[in-house]
Amino acid sequence: MKQRVFSGARPTGRQHIGNYLGAIRNYVKLQEEYDCIYCIVDIHALTSLEDTDKLQDNIYEMMLDWLAAGLDPQKSILFVQSHVPEVMELHTLLSMVTPLGWLLRVPTFKEKARMQPENVNYGLVGYPVLMTADIVLYKGEVVPVGEDQLPHLELAREITRRFNSIFGYTFPEPQAKLTSFPLVVGLNGTQKMGKTYDNYIELAATPEETLKLVMTAVTDPARQYRSDPGHPEVCNVYNLQNFFNPSHVDKIAAECRSASIGCVDCKKLLAQGVNSELEAFRERRAGFAARSQYVTDVLADGARRAQAIAKETLAEVKEKMGLLPRAI
């Protein structure tokens, strides 16, 4: 029996190369070793109530990227969180065993409350309970996380332990599968690549769009003129070359230091690397997009398979919590 992996990601629409290098690539690899369940967590996206009119488009575009990157509905369950409403029921039941103090201490809650003081809703504070419900509803045993997400998973483990100790063993305690996600800095050279800072390259961008975006990337600020020697170790274009032109990086570093390559040529090389790495991905994506019903069918099948597991778990939970009517 393979162990079960569960992971959820917010519906952020078209994915960028930071998402790919940081998470999607790893999701694809895990399919070979584990029984994987990957979920687009649309309910979590409602805590900030941003752009809900784009929610369905974002789910569709994100799913196209996941499928084109190699997430395979034959190997993994791929579905949307709200399509299996049992998760909301389990969230309520788990909230009964979760002390409020645990939730109010979560650093991301405090940060979000600071960022949106006009909308400090229950969803923000209850987020770790819903996240726990996401995992344990499917009896997830392994959760791929980066170091920064460990505290969230620890809280999920505490809630699970508490439920098990009150009502008897029901859920496996989810274990972290620590993954060293590379830090992919955005085109502005300062923040992590992401939509918040508009510093990203979409996986689905055309080769021309990719080149145009790469040309805007910030490089070594000390390199004012073509003849100035550069410092690749502080240059984000060089950092990205490591992912997309790994066999050229030593040469690029030497040529940058001796000013024998200019930033424009270096960026052209990077764009070529990105475009050649993503060529097959982009073809597959276009193929899936041309079959308009395909994504809907994959998600419907994923929800059906996920719900079969969810119903069993919820029945067990209700039975243990004394919620099932007594048989006469």
Binding pattern to ligand SF4, positions 21-40, x when CB under 6 A? --------------------
Residue number with CB closer to ligand SF4 (55 or 271): 271
Q: Which listed range, 38-46, 105-113, 154-162, 255-263, lies at the site for ligand SF4 (CB under 6 A)?
A: 255-263
Q: Which of 156, 263, 278, 298 binds ligand SF4 (CB under 6 A)?
A: 263
x/- track of binding to ligand SF4 for residues 218-237 (CB under 6 A): -xx--x------x-x--x-x
Helix axes 294-320 and 55-69, enclosed angle (nearest 10): 100
**Cα(81)–Cα(61) distance, rounded to whole angstroms?**
16
Please answer whether residues 8 and 134 qualify as being in contact, where contact means their C-beta atoms are separated by less than 8 angstroms.
Answer: yes
| Helices (H), ranges, the chain | 17-19, 25-30, 55-69, 86-95, 100-104, 107-115, 122-137, 150-167, 207-215, 236-244, 249-257, 263-290, 294-320
Determine whether 195 is an active site residue.
yes
11 binds ligand SF4 (CB under 6 A): no
Clarify whether 267 is annotated catalytic: no
Joined tokens for residue 129: 């309970």
- Any catalytic annotation for residue 2? no
Q: Which stretch binds ligand SF4 (CB under 6 A): 80-88, 97-105, 217-225, 277-285?
A: 217-225
Nearer to ligand SF4, 24 or 261 (CB): 261
* Marked catalytic residue, from 75, 195, 251, 268: 195
Distance of CA 325 to the CA centre of its chain: 40
CA distance 147 to 178: 7
Specify the stretch interacting with ligand SF4 by CB under 6 A; choose among 70-78, 111-119, 243-251, 259-267. Answer: 259-267
Selected catalytic residue, list 29, 54, 110, 112:
112
For helices 122-137 and 150-167, angle between their N-to-C axes, nearest 10 degrees:
70
Residue closer to ligand SF4 (CB basis): 51 or 228: 228
Candidates 36, 21, 31, 41; CA nearest to 84 is 41
Neighbours of 255 (CB within 10 A): 17
- Cα separation, 163 vs 31, in Å, equals 29
Q: Smallest distance from the beta carbon of 190 to ligand SF4, in angstroms?
A: 15
Choosing from 43, 90, 266, 310, the residue that interacts with ligand SF4 (CB under 6 A) is 266
Taking CB under 6 A as the rule, does residue 261 contact ligand SF4? Answer: yes
Residue 245 sits in the site that holds ligand SF4 (CB under 6 A)? no
- Which of 297, 303, 294 is closest to 83 using CA atoms? 303
DSSP string over 303-327: HHHHHHHHHHHHHHHHHHTT-SPPP
Report the residue number, 131 or 266, with the smaller CB distance to ligand SF4.
266
Binding region for ligand SF4 (CB under 6 A): 219-220, 223, 230, 232, 235, 237-238, 252, 256, 261, 263, 266-267
